[in-house]
């Protein structure tokens, strides 16, 4: 006999029996969080900021094609806040890159953990001097240094940096991580006693029902259209949900809100129970970086790509190897082996025990037309457990084992070329299917002049009408070869246009005595920026590269003394096109 939903338990003998069970199930949720925190030191680390800690990003939330490896602390929507070492230790790694973390500091601590501080604006003077010295020695802006134990010791509470917006950051904040020092696996930082206030329940915006694993058949998921009873309690209009499949899965669109922040963050804990039986549980504890791309299996990737909505699937794809799931039953798939009504509860919870619940009923009804079984025509079946090779006139594809999360009915179409392309357009499946590993793609160009071979690149676009982007390429006999982790449309194009170089805050032959910085915009038509070199009187000059803004910046120092100087900037793209900007500047 099925359980009676918690929200509708009546004063019957059955209700009295089930009520304690349901209450016990709910009470166990925050206890699991407390037990997890008990495994880690609660008073070893101080705050990395001297302001009230509020979140703009949570650990293990889905970001693009990966899980977030830390938490993002808000910095009052500005840069330049002091960033403090959370404990004694030494700087084990310090790097500066035009993308990713941008400027970042890694500190190893004696208790077996590493703290990470990323997207910072500037290092402390001591660290800045250490990095800059090696940038000039190696004549490179992009640098990743490992000082070694004892090289750069720090004390708890020492200012190590100023908060910023460097690298691939989309706004001022501090990205902060705690890692296991030996494995470098990130661990949920909120397990370590940081005082982050949160009194708001997660929000469940909607739910989805799926018909998973249909093989040669296609069946679109169905949104359930939930309603809110009160804060933290949701239900489905038109209960029970009737489905015409014996095997179904659920997904939920949920976000967490925290105190003092308008951001919608990822949810720490998700659980699916059917008739009181837990089929699925997700909890953001820790993971290894090689596992982070499993984010594409965790979400409803197709809905994300088509509609921009993030639904987290409450069932596992066959090739989902992420470690956040605790013993899922039937991979979270719900088996409706009878025609009875079954109770479903979806729970979302943050790390402070604030939770939201969606409760509804589901029932099999073969007369419903919720899921349609449309035959899918395909060229080759790709399965997670085997590698595969696909070859056609002018194209070869090698797909490694473990590249897909579930069986894929690979669809290939060869389309007519365009006047600016040097191959047919090869449509390889569709943008709504994710790839976990890089496939190797070879395309044979048509009538490509020999003089253009060095300028040829494989280009990609997700669908008709979108812009082509370079995927690079190397020659293997008469084929241009690249690696890619995206299905879509591919072709060959040549790039003979050199990068653009444009001074922003100065003019050629200008007197720049009042300038604190020199700024130059650089951009490339197709292949992408490969390298740049700035010189003053023939000597290398450090210009920081902000890739997201296509901006080079030099901050005035002793390397640009008073007097008239020859300034030169050389910018090359990925296929060797080069632009040289020269001028004289007087300081």
Q: What is the pLDDT of residues 476-506, one digit of tens each?
A: 999 999 999 999 999 999 999 999 999 999 9
Given a contact cutoff of 8 angstroms between Cβ atoms, the answer to whether 452 and 493 are in contact is no
CA distance 24 to 13: 18
Residue tagged 């992009």 (tokens): 142
Residue 249's beta-bridge partner residues? 210
Burial label for 150, CB within 10 Å (0-12, 13-18, 19+), is exposed
Query: Please, how many CA atoms are within 13 Å of residue 245, restricted to the half-sphere of its CB?
Result: 20
% helix, strand, coil for the chain, step of 5:
15, 40, 45
Q: What is the pLDDT of residues 235-251, one digit of tens each?
A: 998 889 999 999 999 99
CA distance 309 to 344: 23
Burial label for 266, CB within 10 Å (0-12, 13-18, 19+), is buried
Q: Provide mean pLDDT across the span 57-77.
A: 96
Q: What is the pLDDT of residues 211-239, one digit of tens each?
A: 986 554 467 899 998 999 988 999 998 88
Helix (H) or strand (E) holding 441: strand 434-443
Q: What is the pLDDT of residues 116-138, one digit of tens each?
A: 999 999 999 999 999 999 999 99
Is the predicted pLDDT of residue 11 greater than 50, yes or no?
A: no
CA distance 20 to 10: 13
Closest by alpha carbon to 542, among 1, 141, 115, 2? 141
* Dihedral sign (CA 127, 130, 131, 136): positive
Is the predicted pLDDT of residue 314 greater than 90, yes or no?
A: yes
Confidence (pLDDT) at 214: 56
Confidence (pLDDT) at 36: 65
Residue 570's beta-bridge partner residues? 533, 580
Q: Provide mean pLDDT across the span 158-176.
A: 97
CA distance 210 to 227: 20
CA distance 32 to 37: 9
* Banded pLDDT at 516 (limits 50, 70, 90): very high
Parallel, antiparallel, or unpaired for β 355-364 and 241-243? parallel
Instruction: Look at 17-21, 266-270, 542-546, 555-559 and tell me which has the smallest mean pLDDT.
Output: 17-21
CA–chain centroid gap for 270, Å, is 19
The helix/strand/coil state of 370 is: coil
CA distance 68 to 118: 13
Q: What is the pLDDT of residues 406-438, one digit of tens each?
A: 999 999 999 999 999 999 999 999 999 999 999
Mean pLDDT for the chain overall = 91
Domain with CATH 2.60.40.1220 in the chain: 500-586
Confidence (pLDDT) at 218: 60
Is the predicted pLDDT of residue 464 greater than 50, yes or no?
A: yes
Confidence (pLDDT) at 75: 96
Report which DSSP code applies to 31. Answer: H
Q: Provide mean pLDDT across the span 361-380.
A: 83
How far CA 286 is from CA of 24, 61, 396, in Å, comes to 27, 12, 38
Confidence (pLDDT) at 31: 52
CATH pick for 500-586 out of 3.40.630.10, 2.60.40.1220, 1.10.3210.10, 2.40.50.180: 2.60.40.1220
Given a contact cutoff of 8 angstroms between Cβ atoms, the answer to whether 292 and 239 are in contact is no
Answer yes or no: CATH 2.70.70.10 is held by domain 55-192.
Answer: yes
What does the block give as tokens for 256?
């967490």
CA distance 421 to 423: 6
The helix/strand/coil state of 349 is: strand
What does the block give as tokens for 373?
């079984």
Confidence (pLDDT) at 304: 96
Helix (H) or strand (E) holding 104: strand 103-108
CA distance 340 to 361: 10
Parallel, antiparallel, or unpaired for β 395-399 and 469-470? unpaired
How far CA 291 is from CA of 171, 219, 384, in Å, comes to 26, 29, 16
Query: What's the whole-model pTM score?
Result: 0.91
Burial label for 110, CB within 10 Å (0-12, 13-18, 19+), is exposed
Residue 552's beta-bridge partner residues? 520, 545
Answer yes or no: CATH 3.30.565.10 is held by domain 377-494.
Answer: no
Confidence (pLDDT) at 7: 30
First to last CA, the chain: 86
Is the predicted pLDDT of residue 257 greater than 90, yes or no?
A: no
Q: What is the pLDDT of residues 91-100, one digit of tens each?
A: 999 999 999 9
Closest by alpha carbon to 226, among 254, 261, 256? 254
Domain with CATH 2.70.70.10 in the chain: 55-192
Backbone φ, ψ for residue 217 (5° rounding):
-115, 150
Tally Cβ neighbours within 10 Å of residue 340: 13
């Amino acid at each position: 006999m099925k359980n009676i939903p918690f929200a509708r338990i009546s004063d019957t003998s059955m209700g009295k029996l089930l009520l304690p069970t349901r209450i016990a199930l709910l009470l166990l949720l925050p206890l699991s969080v407390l037990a997890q925190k008990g495994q880690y030191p609660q008073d070893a680390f101080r705050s990395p900021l001297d302001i009230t800690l509020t979140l703009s990003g949570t650990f293990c939330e889905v970001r693009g094609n990966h899980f977030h490896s830390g938490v993002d602390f808000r910095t009052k929507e500005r840069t330049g806040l002091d960033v403090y070492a959370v404990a004694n230790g030494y700087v084990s790694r310090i790097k500066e890159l035009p993308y990713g973390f941008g400027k970042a500091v890694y500190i190893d601590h004696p208790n077996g953990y590493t703290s990470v501080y990323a997207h910072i604006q500037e290092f402390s003077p001591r660290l800045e001097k250490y990095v800059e010295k090696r940038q000039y020695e190696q004549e490179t802006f992009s640098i990743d240094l490992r000082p070694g134990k004892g090289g750069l010791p720090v004390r708890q509470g020492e200012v190590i940096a100023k908060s910023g917006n460097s690298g691939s950051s989309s706004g001022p904040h501090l990205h902060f991580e705690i890692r296991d020092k030996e494995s470098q696996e990130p661990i949920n930082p909120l397990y370590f006693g940081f005082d982050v206030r949160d009194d708001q329940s997660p929000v469940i915006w909607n739910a989805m029902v799926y018909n998973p694993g249909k093989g040669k058949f296609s069946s679109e998921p169905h949104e359930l259209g939930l309603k809110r009873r009160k804060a933290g309690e949701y239900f489905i209009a038109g209960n029970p949900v009737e489905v015409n499949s014996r095997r179904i899965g659920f997904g939920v669109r949920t976000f967490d809100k925290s105190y003092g922040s308008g951001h919608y963050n990822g949810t720490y804990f998700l659980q699916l129970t059917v008739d009181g039986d837990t089929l699925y549980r997700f909890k953001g504890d820790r993971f290894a970086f090689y596992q982070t791309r499993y984010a594409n299996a965790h979400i409803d990737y197709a809905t994300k790509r088509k509609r921009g909505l993030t639904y987290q699937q409450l069932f596992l794809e066959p090739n989902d190897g992420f470690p956040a799931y605790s013993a899922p039953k039937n991979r979270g798939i719900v088996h409706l082996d009878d025609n009875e009504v079954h109770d479903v509860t979806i729970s979302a919870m943050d790390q402070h025990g604030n939770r939201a619940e969606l409760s509804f009923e589901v029932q099999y009804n073969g007369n419903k037309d919720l899921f349609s079984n449309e035959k899918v025509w395909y060229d080759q079946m790709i399965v997670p457990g085997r590698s595969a090779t696909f070859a056609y006139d002018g194209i070869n594809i090698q797909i490694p084992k473990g590249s897909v999360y579930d069986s894929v009915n690979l669809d290939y179409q060869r389309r007519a070329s365009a006047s600016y392309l040097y191959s047919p357009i090869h449509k390889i499946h569709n943008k709504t299917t994710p790839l976990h590993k890089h496939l190797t793609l070879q395309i044979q160009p048509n009538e490509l002049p020999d003089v253009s071979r060095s300028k040829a690149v494989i280009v990609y676009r997700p669908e008709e009408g979108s812009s082509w982007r370079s995927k690079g390429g190397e020659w293997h006999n008469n084929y241009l070869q690249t690696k890619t982790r995206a299905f879509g449309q591919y072709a060959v194009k040549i790039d003979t246009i050199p990068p653009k170089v444009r001074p922003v805050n100065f003019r050629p032959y200008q007197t720049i005595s009042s300038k604190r910085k020199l700024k130059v915009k650089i951009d490339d038509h197709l292949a992408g920026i490969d390298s740049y070199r700035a010189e003053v009187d023939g000597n290398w000059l450090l210009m920081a590269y902000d890739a997201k803004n296509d901006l080079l910046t030099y901050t005035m120092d002793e390397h640009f003394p008073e007097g008239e100087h020859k300034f030169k900037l050389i910018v090359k793209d990925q296929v060797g096109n080069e632009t040289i900007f020269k001028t004289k500047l007087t300081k």
